[in-house]
Chains A and B, each alone.
Chain A
């Protein structure tokens, strides 16, 4: 007898499937094993195989241990590549997607994975995305979804807005094109309202999630304690957020971000509008990335002075490229003696530098900023106080004078879910000339994605779909226009693990009873690259649904396993030429000769 896997594997796969061996039943002790569902890109790769093999080994082992196991699989099926395929090959995104799903499903089956295929979901199915829309309406109802015009990350190649999380080192996470800044009206989810809970509950995940994922989330949420301090320019207060209120006596100038609404107004008052306007415009053409890596700090004086609330001194107000409007209040107090960036700026423009913190032993350095803790000097009544203690004391003192307050600040921003794209969930609102923005009624869901659209690769195809756009206002019945933004696909994947518990529910996204039985996910397996994207959004959704009373668990994923990558050895042409000692300018014959020689030698 010879071992011929091809002859036995398919046979057993059929038996398992026909006998519904892996159908999940609500009885006894449960285990929910879940692998991050794939994007149907066409073919599975070895990374998928590793991911799912780990899950399958666990699921089958748990079956043996007598658990009632749920091990489902589905498709994160909306997204850009389907549209790119439409542009390139003229195939409809839906057809492309469903063909890929069929192919990949066959591939997964050929690996013998123990999925309960009866629970399969595809997020591009109206039966799934109608519940995205339903959830969106719930967010809207609770004041957690809002629309505002804001400067956003714009990918000029994909012609779409990107979330902060989708900008990797200033580039589009998908195509690598440097992003630009643009004013676009967009829909946001108020994830910042959950910042504190998202941070706090990370403690419950310690020991169950990889430490570095927890660290990355903590860092992404970026809680910092500090003070909000007002620097008055005549009657106008400039609010700055600082984590170093202990250094306020050393603040010798104030800088506003170029986009700060006060920048141009103050420049007008200061009589320097033209210079400042030109400077602000010059920066608009630059992406955050370019601004981030621009080594040279540049700025312009606005022509007037603010009062340092601690010293009573008049200090100049500037605008500069190194202050970003998105962070803190978009304005900073500058303490060149104790902040290196402020120091560089002060040296360049000849602004005063005053030391207010002294190292515990010795003198502060003269050629750079001293950023560590120490003891206060040149700070009036606070001289001699350790800087940590002074943070509180000075904030309290300024608070009593009406100039400051304690403030906790987060790095986390609200989540922009608008995409100017076709292949996604339509955002269920209409724009009415008379009533403004009106949500589509729940019973009208789903707002179906129209099949016939022109996909050209520029702009949003939905804008050209008149049948889709033209509608009537749910409130007044007059003609109105549908929202054409679709949802970031991370919305789709933020709750799919709940849908798996009750995948065929036609009345609700899921029944709370089904979810209570299966949730939380006991083992969640996927790549580390989702540390702050998917995994943070999913936690946010879970908490929101918890507040709605629809789920009982505060955290969706009990244990997280981030599998490593599959590597393979390779040699680049460059490395090979170097190894042979040949450069590109040499004749081809010489290269061929060297290769043949090298082959003989081996």
Chain B
């Protein structure tokens, strides 16, 4: 029998999905199909005729509505096409699972805690940094949502959750910071994946549905980054001290150093040959005559 006759006998056309051919031949193998799709496949609009649809109902059954929603919003800018992949949807699912376990890991400790601004006055560096990150994320989130940039909003929530996972709270203040950050995360995630947020919110012992609560504002106090003093040397001699935010970019530190009046006077008519910057520690300008 010719290939052609086999196709006709099985009501297949050359425009059909090759998965059907493998099925009819009894040779279907998911891993192999994936490989071929990776090598010669191309993304096309989901359609019945191409047999490349994903049934939303199936996806919801498998991963839940929150995962499907989160994935769809995360996969790309709203106006752009995006390619549905199983890896992608699994990634969204794993993220929600991580958030879930992070919550329950700390739930018993954080549930009875309450916090207010004064609890955050004297935080240790790591906790302070977590708090800064949480509020920075919130600030960016609000801007992104205004622009309907859901994918970037989700990306920063994910980064925040990563940071929270790496955070190892020790004292009560640390746990308060963690609790606040987790609550912010729930608020931010709620419009995108509402069910899991509502559930965790109630697990925290909160009264009333989330939607009735005020959406938090970024705390300007938390956004402030710590400033440090950096000695400025010219040809190895201490000439000035400048104040810069912790972890400031090298280019900005350099500019601030050059703009310092005491340094500028010394450099008048001279040429900066080399700049040595030791992060958060020291900057040395090597200068020579014109």
Contact = CB atoms under 8 A, between A and B. Distances in A.
A448 interface: no
Interface string A562-594: 111111111111111101001111111011100
Contacts of A15: 198, 209
Contacts of B278: none
Contact of B17 (A46, A59, A571, A586): A571
Given A568-B54, A579-B36, A573 B20 contact: yes
B7 A585 contact: no
Given A3-B100, A573-B17, A45 B56 contact: yes
Contacts of B91: none
A479 B56 CA distance: 53
Contacts of A576: 18, 21, 36, 40
A599 B196 CA distance: 41
Residue of A13, A21, A53, A59 ringed by the most chain B CB atoms within 10 A: A53
A576 B14 CA distance: 9
B27 A571 contact: no
Contacts of B220: none
B73 interface: yes
B37 interface: yes
Residue of A15, A49, A58 ringed by the most chain B CB atoms within 10 A: A49
B52 A588 contact: no
B101 A568 contact: no
Contacts of A1: 100-101, 104
Contacts of B97: 3
A260 B200 CA distance: 72
B117 interface: no
B52 A568 contact: yes
Interface stretch (A60-68, A147-155, A330-338, A436-444): A60-68
B169 interface: no
Given A566-B84, A572-B14, A576-B40, A585 B3 contact: yes
Contacts of B199: 8, 11-12
Given A6-B64, A579-B39, A595-B27, A564 B80 contact: yes
A54 B2 contact: no
A571 B41 contact: yes
B256 interface: no
A44 interface: yes
A19 B209 CA distance: 10
Contacts of B77: 564
B3 A587 contact: yes
B50 interface: yes
Interface stretch (B187-195, B225-233, B236-244): B187-195
B275 to A, nearest CB: 44
Contact of B56 (A2, A49, A561, A569): A49
Interface stretch (A106-114, A136-144, A192-200): A106-114
Nearest to A103: B57
Interface string B101-112: 100100000000
A50 interface: yes
Nearest to A13: B195
A576 B16 CA distance: 10
A596 B27 contact: yes
Given A46-B54, A561-B78, A566-B82, A586 B60 contact: no
B68 interface: yes
A48 interface: yes
Residue of B29, B31, B45, B101 ringed by the most chain A CB atoms within 10 A: B45
B35 interface: yes
Residue of B36, B40, B42 ringed by the most chain A CB atoms within 10 A: B36
A60 B3 contact: no
Interface in A1-45: 1-3, 5-6, 8-9, 11-13, 15-16, 19, 21, 43-45
Contacts of A13: 195
B209 A46 contact: no
Interface string B175-211: 0000000000001001110111011000000000101
A565 B7 contact: no
A57 B73 contact: yes
A61 B55 contact: no
A583 B3 CA distance: 8
A269 B245 CA distance: 93
A569 B37 contact: yes
A303 interface: no
Interface string B39-72: 1111111100011111111001101111111001
Contacts of A50: 72
Nearest to A60: B191
Contacts of A316: none
A577 B151 CA distance: 38
Residue of B27, B54, B65 ringed by the most chain A CB atoms within 10 A: B65
Contact of B4 (A5, A210, A584): A584
B83 to A, nearest CB: 5
Interface in B252-275: none
A180 interface: no
B82 to A, nearest CB: 6
B22 interface: yes
Given A43-B57, A568-B52, A573-B12, A8 B195 contact: yes
Interface string B70-94: 0011001111111111000000000
Contact of A568 (B4, B22, B79, B83): B83
A11 B196 CA distance: 11
Contacts of B83: 567-569
Residue of A66, A210, A584 ringed by the most chain B CB atoms within 10 A: A584
B144 to A, nearest CB: 10
A47 interface: yes
A573 B37 contact: no
B27 A570 contact: no
A56 interface: yes
Interface string B134-172: 000000000001001010000000000000000000000
Contact of B79 (A48, A564, A591, A598): A564
Contacts of B125: none
B179 to A, nearest CB: 17
Contact of B32 (A43, A59, A602): A602
B2 A210 contact: no
Contacts of A46: 46, 53-54, 56, 72, 84
Nearest to B56: A49
B3 A586 contact: yes
A60 B45 contact: no
Given A60-B191, A572-B16, 14 more contacts: A6-B64, A16-B209, A45-B46, A46-B72, A58-B191, A61-B145, A64-B211, A65-B215, A107-B57, A567-B44, A571-B40, A572-B18, A576-B36, A588-B1
Interface of A: 1-3, 5-6, 8-9, 11-13, 15-16, 19, 21, 43-50, 53-54, 56-61, 63-66, 107, 110-112, 114, 210, 561-577, 579, 582-588, 590-592, 595-596, 598-599, 602
Q: Closest 6 interchain pairs by CB?
A: A5-B64, A60-B191, A574-B14, A570-B52, A576-B18, A567-B43
12 contacts: A5-B195, A6-B61, A15-B198, A54-B78, A210-B79, A564-B77, A568-B83, A571-B17, A571-B36, A584-B7, A587-B1, A591-B25
